[in-house]
Structure 1
């Protein structure tokens, strides 16, 4: 788990200083080691620079980077873990490949030597890497299937530049870091920027499941993975068999992710997903699991008691962090800086605080991220299959003029009813996917946006699931190609790495996703709270109270804080005369949202959080808006 930087540029450019400076901007991602490498292509026309900051997890003393192949042909900088490296190493050794280290980095190099791009689907892990071929002068940039590890790319004059985070790219000469107006508009609808775009015109995300090949002036991009939910027909119709297969695969995914030469533990929320990970970890460890939980000092807003219940049940070495408003706001700017964008969810900040605490005793944790997006755990997953019937029965004009306005007028306590009633009538699949998790409907987003109409189309992949077997599978495809890589997994990487912690996510195992795609919908949402197959397994392993408790999610009490201790800070961010957000958004609409929320008439916490973070982003990065 590390931070990487690299460029492929014309040889005439002098970039030695940029290589060193950019590498050091990633020091928080890798406090244990540093290295750089520079070379020219065989024809002398091109140069490459690679930088690496290391957080040592595997082969702590023996795998420094940049790493060179034993024969000098390849040089790599790599961020992530190939969990099945031991099996791949044995297979490659049988083919005659030589190894001088015990880690996974050299396995990656030799796998590329053996299989080329066909090695990528063989990797069970999370990764982003830059691989330079000293013989051919070809640079490969690749990212893991689900996008757990980040990789950004920028185009400058005579150069392509890559990095694990955005800040080093902005420092590179010639990169266009002006505000992307289309991304601003998309952020107001989604509360995150759908890939491959970012908030900066000249910086993009390398898409998940994709690799780039740079060879002189030629640049090609190839997608090697698409989610199985878009292309798999369910063929497992016996629930007991599905449960057995799921149990075995999830257990194997957890066990594989316990491979580490550094101390590790688990983040435990007290919810079903992380509790199951801790239960499975306990099976395979000969000492107590180190667990870490975060909650809040606001009555009714903390899940710490539930996490403690699970910790006691499995005898873990448990650590708790109670976060107050002051601690929360103390890392707000740092979170925005590390994200390279507005922080989409308030939960990013307590994850950052928890990671700083956990890093004092461990270097890696397992987490429960991705279970809802794999197994249909949100109310929207149970509602979406009924949308087509609703739209056949309810005329669009009735929904738009009566039902949707009525839903908006409902109190926030009925937020799930509000969401379902408001979203179900949206005819367009793309607009509906945005609305399920957006802070408001499309009409409100348009009212907030003060710029010019959009000039680009969104990446079609998240909305292109014609091979999906059902409306549910189509939605899960969207979640796994947009919501996860562009929001939730960004939180997991950026906030944990800001605290120098590696996060591993067993539910994001590709083999597990391939299996679950073969299940009928009833094995997923065929339970009152969703995730039927997981709940059935959990009933055999977890305390009954944890299995039966209502899903509440990781809710930060910003609703109350906006009205109390954060009120002045929020007013400064959103209503001060020099606030950039008032220039790029409709100031009158911002004032209305503030007045209604602070006056207790409505709860606009999602939109106010999105807007306040937008202003934080402008103050930290100061992108030109023209």
Structure 2
């Protein structure tokens, strides 16, 4: 696991080793063990190429230094991630006559490109982002893993292309712009994160998940090599004789290959079904007790520590706990916005970061349960979405004049029903699907913002590009897998663990497992209002029944209470004071109403207020600090 950064240009840029070292230093938290650099300066008809790398050593600790070059081919590689099938690929390459000097997966990536060219990434099983200089072809090759676990950002400045694992390194290059992307800002209030390939920085883009790119003669070409299989209707293939046993076999294999490590590792354990399943399977393949790490809160109804303890005791784990408060959130939130180079869209970022620091005292890598809900249909919205078309058949006047006012008047404890009916009223998928976890509809956003937001639908957007004949469940899962997951949850997981200099691996986001699940009928994921049916069945002999039958709680931080209490002044100061950088974005009467409704307990606006607070923090701690 590492961080990478650099540039490629058709001409001499005037930047040199000092600039590259500064860019590497900016992301040193991603790889504190060692760093390296390599610059090929521009000559006659020869581009300038700068490659910088910082390393967190997980595999082949004594070897695998980067940038890694191959003298025979003039190829140079910097690589962030892990290949879980690198031993298998190495054997194939040796049989084809390729020689290896070490035991790292980095060298396998390098030789795989020499052998198979750009198609090499379709053979990789793992998480990765890479930048490779192809000397003979005089081009740069980039690639990102299928689900987008590892990040890669681009900034084009004329004939120069900057790239890096985090935006902060790009902003250190001479002349890098620091302006707000207003289109992305408008989207931010619809999603609570910025959907790719955009970012909040004008001119800086993400390489989409499952994509590769080539840069040659000053032109960048991007191609997609992977789409999640839920994009299309279920294939007409025979069903396995025992789907549950087949699923368990695939999941156990996904866990086992991610336990390959030359350094100590453990697992995050929330006490929910997903992480509990991972640690139960880890225990099957570990000769020692699994190191597990859990976080909770003093507010008992928000804490799952009791459930995590029960699972840890059940599997005989060596268990560690952390309890957080509102002071922890206020103390660390500005730093985490800087680590993320973006607003912290989920309150869970802070607990994950502090838990990562705790885990980093004893391990360098953890397995997590991320991705299970997006693969197996575990959110309440996956059940509610089935009723969208039926609800919209009701007369509009009945929905707007009778049902809507009654729903708004319901107390907060009915929040799921309130959210469901508000979302089901939106006929356009491009509004409804983001809003299940979003802050606002288009109308609500426009009532709040004093900004010229264009109401664009972008019919070609990846996250909505499903087959017309797809099932309702597969359609919403595909949105989750291509937007909510890579642009929010995986971005959170990468930044918060890397900020603490540890690596996170996600067995549920294994392409072979995803293909197996997607080939099954929908009923194996969702039955009635019970999600993740397949996982629940597979865990019957591995976990206590109380864990398997628990309804999904979600990792909630009690900011709804904290915004009314210990964080109230903090919130008002950031959003309404003369020092606020963002208050001019809002219609003041609506801003005041949102604040007062929440503080007085009439409505719960915690998600919207969190969204607004973090936008303010991003302006203060990222945008302004990066300005020349």
Q: TM range, normalised to the smaller chain? A: over 0.9
Q: Does residue 12 of the first structure (1) align with residue 17 of the second (2)?
A: no
Deviation at 1:408, TM superposition (A): 2.8
Q: Does residue 339 of the first structure (1) align with residue 340 of the second (2)?
A: yes
Paired position in structure 1 for 2:213: 212
Partner SS state of residue 301, structure 2: coil
CA distance in 1, matches of 2:401, 2:444: 15
Paired position in structure 1 for 2:506: 505
Name whichever of 180-189 and 39-48 sits farther off: 39-48
CA distance in 2, matches of 1:422, 1:222: 37
Partner SS state of residue 34, structure 1: strand
Contact 1:249 / 1:512 at 8 angstroms: preserved in 2? Answer: yes
Paired position in structure 2 for 1:434: 434
Contact 2:233 / 2:467 at 8 angstroms: preserved in 1? Answer: no
CA distance in 2, matches of 1:64, 1:533: 42
Contact 1:233 / 1:468 at 8 angstroms: preserved in 2? Answer: no
Deviation at 1:9, TM superposition (A): 1.3
Paired position in structure 2 for 1:136: 137
Q: Residue deviations 1:389-428, cap 9 Å, x none?
A: 322x313443334333432332211111011111112111
CA distance in 1, matches of 2:461, 2:92: 38
TM-score normalized with structure 1 length: 0.97
Partner SS state of residue 361, structure 2: coil
Paired position in structure 2 for 1:67: 68
Contact 2:240 / 2:246 at 8 angstroms: preserved in 1? Answer: no
CA distance in 1, matches of 2:315, 2:99: 42
CA distance in 2, matches of 1:85, 1:397: 60
Change (3 A) 1:504 1:58: same
Deviation at 1:119, TM superposition (A): 1.2
Deviation at 1:577, TM superposition (A): 1.5
CA distance in 2, matches of 1:568, 1:395: 44
Contact 1:188 / 1:449 at 8 angstroms: preserved in 2? Answer: no
Contact 1:239 / 1:523 at 8 angstroms: preserved in 2? Answer: no
Q: Residue deviations 1:442-487, cap 9 Å, x none?
A: 3222212211132866461100101663011011111010000100
Q: Which residues in structure 2 correspond to 1:65-464 (within 5 Å)?
A: 65-69=66-70, 71=72, 73-235=74-236, 241-391=242-392, 393-454=393-454, 458=458, 460-464=461-465
Name whichever of 526-535 and 249-258 sits farther off: 526-535
Gaps of 5+ in 2: none
CA distance in 2, matches of 1:193, 1:408: 28
The RMSD of aligned alpha carbons is 1.7
CA distance in 2, matches of 1:487, 1:314: 31
CA distance in 1, matches of 2:397, 2:113: 57
Partner SS state of residue 142, structure 1: strand
Paired position in structure 1 for 2:554: 553
Name whichever of 515-524 and 493-502 sits farther off: 515-524
Contact 1:493 / 1:503 at 8 angstroms: preserved in 2? Answer: yes
Change (3 A) 1:33 1:466: same
Paired position in structure 1 for 2:518: 517
Partner SS state of residue 294, structure 1: strand
CA distance in 1, matches of 2:71, 2:541: 49
CA distance in 1, matches of 2:302, 2:554: 11
Contact 1:51 / 1:77 at 8 angstroms: preserved in 2? Answer: yes
Partner SS state of residue 331, structure 1: helix
Q: Residue deviations 1:27-86, cap 9 Å, x none?
A: 100000100011146744410001001000000011111111252521111000011101
Q: Which residues in structure 2 correspond to 1:528-567 (within 5 Å)?
A: 528-567=529-568
CA distance in 1, matches of 2:56, 2:309: 29
Change (3 A) 1:98 1:41: farther
Contact 1:192 / 1:344 at 8 angstroms: preserved in 2? Answer: yes
Deviation at 1:156, TM superposition (A): 1.3
Contact 2:367 / 2:505 at 8 angstroms: preserved in 1? Answer: yes
CA distance in 2, matches of 1:400, 1:148: 41
Q: Residue deviations 1:343-401, cap 9 Å, x none?
A: 0010001100001111111000000000000000001101112222322x313443334
CA distance in 2, matches of 1:355, 1:154: 30
CA distance in 1, matches of 2:471, 2:553: 27
Name whichever of 131-140 and 67-76 sits farther off: 67-76
Name whichever of 458-467 and 302-311 sits farther off: 458-467
Name whichever of 313-322 and 42-51 sits farther off: 42-51
Partner SS state of residue 493, structure 1: helix
Deviation at 1:234, TM superposition (A): 4.2
Contact 1:190 / 1:439 at 8 angstroms: preserved in 2? Answer: yes
Partner SS state of residue 35, structure 1: strand
CA distance in 1, matches of 2:260, 2:469: 34
TM-score normalized with structure 2 length: 0.96
Deviation at 1:530, TM superposition (A): 0.5
Deviation at 1:325, TM superposition (A): 1.5
Gaps of 5+ in 1: none
Contact 1:336 / 1:613 at 8 angstroms: preserved in 2? Answer: yes
Name whichever of 313-322 and 587-596 sits farther off: 587-596
Q: How many residues align?
A: 624
Change (3 A) 1:40 1:12: closer
Deviation at 1:300, TM superposition (A): 1.6
Contact 2:446 / 2:453 at 8 angstroms: preserved in 1? Answer: no
CA distance in 1, matches of 2:209, 2:377: 21
